[in-house]
Homo-oligomer: A and B are copies of this chain.
Amino acid sequence: MLEGLIRKNNSKIVFIVLDGIGGLPVRDGKTELEIANTPQMDALAVKSALGLHIPVDYGVTPGSGPGHLGIFGYSPLKHQIGRGILEALGLGLDVRDTDIAIRGNYATVERREGKLVVKDRRAGRISTEENRRITLKLSDSIGEIDGVKVFFSAGMEHRVAIVLRFPDDLPEESDRITDTDPQGEGLEPITPKGMNKNSERVGAVVRKLLDKVQDILSDEPKANYMLLRGFSQKPKMESFESRFGLKACAIAVYPMYRGLASLVGMELINFNGQTIKDQIEALKRVWEDYDFFFLHVKKTDSYGEDGNYEGKIRMIEEFDRHIPEIMALKPDVFVITGDHSTPSILRGHSWHPVPVLLHSPYVLGGICKRFTERECLKGELGIFQAEKLINLILAHSLRLAKFGA
């Protein structure tokens, strides 16, 4: 729809994602956003356009991948990100067009009547420290297989991510490989096979990888095998810059969100520290270099997932205190939203529409008193599909030409 309408100018757009920001009543009928003391957001709300976005569809609870794709302006239904890719991104592995990403579980296997069978699909849930030691052992021993580079990254407990980097770009459907997890104990692991010509080339490398892994782990008491699933390629997506004409960067702490931003071609800003303050310092430092600044705040979601509404409220308040520093940069468009809701009472992501605040000189304003779920319901943006947010951002930064004469 926006094709042919995109114009460039010098406007600056700050795009804040408070991960999992939407909530439900937790105390005295009030949500986390309603309880939080947020004088800065309150003042902004009065002079901004507010509303709520639906990340994927009514009633649908999004994972972090679809949640971010939507607010980045990419249909989460059209662009599905494979499990292996998300796992690899989350564990800090870089993924490219030449790569196959895989989710691995360390497992225990044993011989029974001449057959190799799975004894424990999670290797007795080894500790994360154990995992790191074993993963380092694999990294040190397996650098390459037939010209394909192999990268490992340890996750929590028995989880591990693997990236196979081929020397050349992989054709479509190269990731169609059968999972090796037999999904039950006492069963033989399944031999990974390519389901088509393109993927069989990958399948052959995976089989060699498994042989090597088994060799190297043969003396481990628990984690003597690895089950593989979620084989996936990087989805083909037009870059944010080519699609929207915005030179964009990501100021995010956690690997998953840095990874998601890099999937759409945002540049990743490196900085010291992990706090919102550190992120804002980075924002100031790169202010002249980009049009669009994606700043991701993780802990609103983490506390929500823990059911710790007080922690979530504290994070909201902490962010609120930093708003004047951002506004001092005089962004042309300033947006605060989330990738999905994470109500503390649900201890997880939810399907509830997500509050949006958009500040620009071109809003009605004067409608909402605060940035809360209930105030957003009254707002001038209404309830809308997440992927339309980028349209509004482009419009408010005067980067969209008139459609038709």
Say which one of A9-17, A153-161, A261-269, A377-385 lies at the interface with B: A377-385
Residue numbers in B under 8 Å from A87 (CB-CB): 405
Closest residue of B by beta carbon distance from A351 = B395
Residue numbers in B under 8 Å from A361 (CB-CB): 345
Say which one of A53-61, A107-115, A189-197, A217-225 lies at the interface with B: A53-61
Using A377-B367, A402-B349, A404-B76 as known contacts, say yes or no to A24 and B60 having CB atoms under 8 A apart: no
Using A58-B388, A59-B395, A365-B25 as known contacts, say yes or no to A81 and B404 having CB atoms under 8 A apart: yes
Q: Is A63 an interface residue (CB 8 A)?
A: yes
Determine if A60 and B367 form an interchain contact, defined as CB atoms under 8 angstroms apart: no
Residue numbers in B under 8 Å from A81 (CB-CB): 404-405
5 residue pairs, one from A and one from B, having the closest CB atoms: A59-B391, A59-B395, A63-B404, A58-B388, A66-B404
Residue numbers in B under 8 Å from A2 (CB-CB): 60
Residue numbers in B under 8 Å from A62 (CB-CB): 402-404
The bracket for how many chain A residues form the interface is 35 or more
Q: Is A343 an interface residue (CB 8 A)?
A: yes
- The minimal Cβ–Cβ distance linking A136 to chain B, given in whole angstroms, is 25
Contact of A391 (CB < 8 Å), options: B5, B60, B353, B394: B60
Q: Beta-carbon contacts of A74-88 to B below 8 Å, as 1s and 0s?
A: 001100110100110
Residue numbers in B under 8 Å from A396 (CB-CB): 59
Q: Is A92 an interface residue (CB 8 A)?
A: no
Residue numbers in B under 8 Å from A379 (CB-CB): 377
Q: Beyond the given A59-B390, A351-B395, could you list 8 further A-B residue pairs with CB under 8 A, ordered by the A residue number?
A: A1-B56, A25-B364, A25-B366, A56-B403, A57-B388, A65-B405, A352-B362, A373-B380
